[in-house]
Amino acid sequence: MGIFLGSTSREGLDFEDNQGKPLFQPALAKEGPVGEHEMYAFEPALCIGGKADLEHMVKLSMDVHLMVLDQLRR
């Protein structure tokens, strides 16, 4: 993991919106920094028709969100 993260640029890991613009810095400005057990995510989730844009990005509990996404894929 360290080798992967050490050889990858921050920009290369950023998720892009529907217009190809990076979302991390705008999400940080909108929602604030994430805590130890939080993440930025789209609401509704992309897999159920959500949109990849800043308007639909929220900060939420990582554990709960990943569990919900896992249930949606079944």
**50-64: per-residue pLDDT in tens?**
999 999 999 999 999
The predicted pLDDT at position 2 comes to 60
Q: Which domain holds residue 44?
A: 2-72
The predicted pLDDT at position 73 comes to 82
State pTM to two decimals: 0.80
3-state secondary structure 5-70: HHCCCHHHHCCECCCCCECHHHHHHHHCCCCCCEEEEECCCHHHCCCCCHHHEEEEEHHHHHHHHH
With a cut of 50, list the residues of the chain below it in pLDDT.
Answer: none
Q: What's the total number of domains in the chain? A: 1
